[in-house]
Chains A and B, each alone.
Chain A
């Protein structure tokens, strides 16, 4: 699958469409038990639901 650098080509994307930035493998939690309890091994995907909006 072709990798698209979203940020570099923002202006080339047509309007009125939705985009999801491409995930890159950067690092995993070193403590895998902690990751197991959080629900993801990827720190960038740890977004707890607060009832109103996600924590970024």
Chain B
């Protein structure tokens, strides 16, 4: 796994963790322990996403600020996979 793949993998793992925590917190909105986990992983994920977008391509529109070429369109299509 190269650096790009590893970073994407880590973002995927972190985002999945955050979705799971969010679904739990939706019905347990006063669970401060779960909230601490959410805040912790969300900070790491946000930073990793910014870094990935800076080096490779923007994963979300809010990270797609561009100069010469519109970077949002330069990203590979997610459904093609790495073997594509």
Contacts and interface: CB of A to CB of B under 8 A. Distances in A.
Interface of A: 1, 23, 25, 28, 32-33, 35-36, 40-42
Given A23-B27, A36-B17, A41-B20, 15 more contacts: A1-B27, A1-B29, A25-B31, A32-B13, A32-B14, A32-B17, A33-B9, A33-B13, A35-B13, A35-B16, A35-B20, A36-B16, A41-B16, A42-B20, A42-B24
Nearest to B16: A36
23 contacts: A1-B27, A1-B28, A23-B24, A23-B27, A25-B28, A25-B33, A28-B17, A28-B37, A32-B13, A32-B14, A32-B17, A33-B9, A35-B13, A35-B16, A35-B17, A35-B20, A36-B12, A36-B13, A36-B16, A40-B20, A41-B16, A42-B20, A42-B24
Interface residues of B, number: 16
Nearest to B14: A32
A39 to B, nearest CB: 9
Q: Is the interface of B mostly helix, strand, loop or mixed?
A: helix
Contacts, number: 34
Interface of B: 9, 12-14, 16-17, 20-21, 24, 27-29, 31, 33-34, 37
A14 to B, nearest CB: 22
